[in-house]
Homo-oligomer: A and B are copies of this chain.
Amino acid sequence: MIAVLAGGVGAARLLQGLVQVVDEEELAVVVNTGDDADIHGLHISPDLDTITYSLAGASNPETGWGLAGETWAAMDALERYGGPTWFRLGDRDLATHLHRTGRLAAGATLSEVSAEIASSWDLRLALLPMSDDAVRTRLRLVSGEEVEFQEYFVKLRHAVAVSAVRFAGADRARPAPGVLEALSAADAVLVAPSNPVVSIGPILAVPGIAELLESRRASVVAISPIVAGAALKGPADRLLVELGGESSAAGVARVLTAIAGTLVVDEADTALAGEVERAGMRCVVAPTVMRTPEVAAELSRVALAAAGAGADGGRVVS
């Protein structure tokens, strides 16, 4: 069994490699739901859907999120009403949100619905929301205003400075059924190259999860989402700096060292190995920019090997 902590696009890329290396049924993915949102009354779970659509081979290859060949009749019609249309909901994607919202309204849990949706797309891995309880990532802007994650990420295109991040509801949230079991039973836990602040952070904020990982950090391997000082996608680099850290693989190490024993950094960051080590993590160097599924598969092999759970790979530099 392999468990993965996952955000959205970066995690989906890694998983597309991992399923080439590990039997899908041996995989449990614990997914961030801190950026879930209620939009037009629908329960949207962007990271769960990105992973589902990606693994189903149905995602839009250009954006990495949403469905390929999508149509936009509902959004176009919504323009008439003058309400918010910054969160783009494709017609086919809407079906997922309608189903999820209807099932939740009927009393199903988010983990039940997520499993149903994954199964409907013929996925065989365990797709676990981090919690069935509502946790909402909220960002305080330097203006003093606090916004929900999707407003920051989509509406404001994360082009605003952030002074603080909190995960509303996390202190009362319980890990979803199966999460602690999977993280406990797994031969290795991988932390996907997702934003450590707003994708991995919410997962670790659910009581019980970080504690469990700390207790087994030697077989927890994280992959740095920062390459040569910059995020491949999204605001991870700026958020790390804005919240007092550093936009580098070493900065990532300082955020994740409590729960992961090893950090896989890109070859471009070989020189940072010493800094990663000083942050308390073993450093493994490998190509981490997943331009193709082959690179993702090789990166998966490296990470599993670093966790002592698979074929060897990568270059351990510390």
- Main SS class of interface, A: helix
Looking across the interface, which residue of chain B has its beta carbon closest to that of A105? B41
The answer, among B38, B99, B103, B121, for a CB contact under 8 Å with A105, is B38
Q: A40-B101, A41-B41 are in contact. Are A95 and B71 (CB under 8 A)?
A: no
Looking across the interface, which residue of chain B has its beta carbon closest to that of A95? B77
CB of A74 closer than 8 Å to a CB of B = yes
Residues of B within 8 A of A318 (CB): none
Q: Which of A52-99 contact B (CB under 8 A)?
A: 71, 73-78, 80-84, 89, 91-96, 98-99
Q: Is A91 within 8 A of B77, CB to CB?
A: yes
Looking across the interface, which residue of chain B has its beta carbon closest to that of A101? B41
Q: A41-B41, A43-B41, A83-B103 are in contact. Are A98 and B116 (CB under 8 A)?
A: no
Residues of B within 8 A of A73 (CB): 71, 73, 91-92
Residues of B within 8 A of A96 (CB): 77, 81
Q: A94-B94, A95-B80, A120-B81 are in contact. Are A41 and B104 (CB under 8 A)?
A: yes
Looking across the interface, which residue of chain B has its beta carbon closest to that of A43? B41
Q: A74-B74, A120-B81, A120-B82 are in contact. Are A40 and B92 (CB under 8 A)?
A: no
CB of A39 closer than 8 Å to a CB of B = yes
A41 to B106, CA, bound (A): 9
Residues of B within 8 A of A89 (CB): 98
Q: Is A71 within 8 A of B91, CB to CB?
A: yes
A73 to B76, CA, bound (A): 14
CB of A19 closer than 8 Å to a CB of B = no
Residues of B within 8 A of A84 (CB): 102
Residues of B within 8 A of A40 (CB): 98-99, 101-102, 105
CB of A117 closer than 8 Å to a CB of B = yes
A74 to B78, CA, bound (A): 14
Residues of B within 8 A of A38 (CB): 105
CB of A42 closer than 8 Å to a CB of B = yes
The answer, among B75, B81, B98, B117, for a CB contact under 8 Å with A41, is B98
Q: A42-B41, A42-B98 are in contact. Are A92 and B74 (CB under 8 A)?
A: yes
Looking across the interface, which residue of chain B has its beta carbon closest to that of A41? B101
Q: Is A80 within 8 A of B41, CB to CB?
A: no
Residues of B within 8 A of A71 (CB): 71, 73, 91
- Distance (Å) between the CB of A73 and the closest chain B CB? 4
A17 to B128, CA, bound (A): 56
Looking across the interface, which residue of chain B has its beta carbon closest to that of A72? B91
Residues of B within 8 A of A102 (CB): 39-41, 83-84
Interchain residue pairs A-B with the least CB separation, the first 9 = A41-B101, A77-B95, A73-B91, A40-B98, A40-B102, A77-B92, A78-B95, A81-B99, A74-B94
11 pairs, CB–CB < 8 Å, chain A vs chain B? A40-B98, A41-B41, A41-B98, A41-B102, A71-B91, A73-B73, A73-B91, A74-B91, A74-B98, A77-B91, A81-B96
- 4 other A-B residue contacts (CB within 8 Å) besides A39-B102, A76-B95, A94-B94: A77-B94, A77-B95, A80-B121, A82-B120
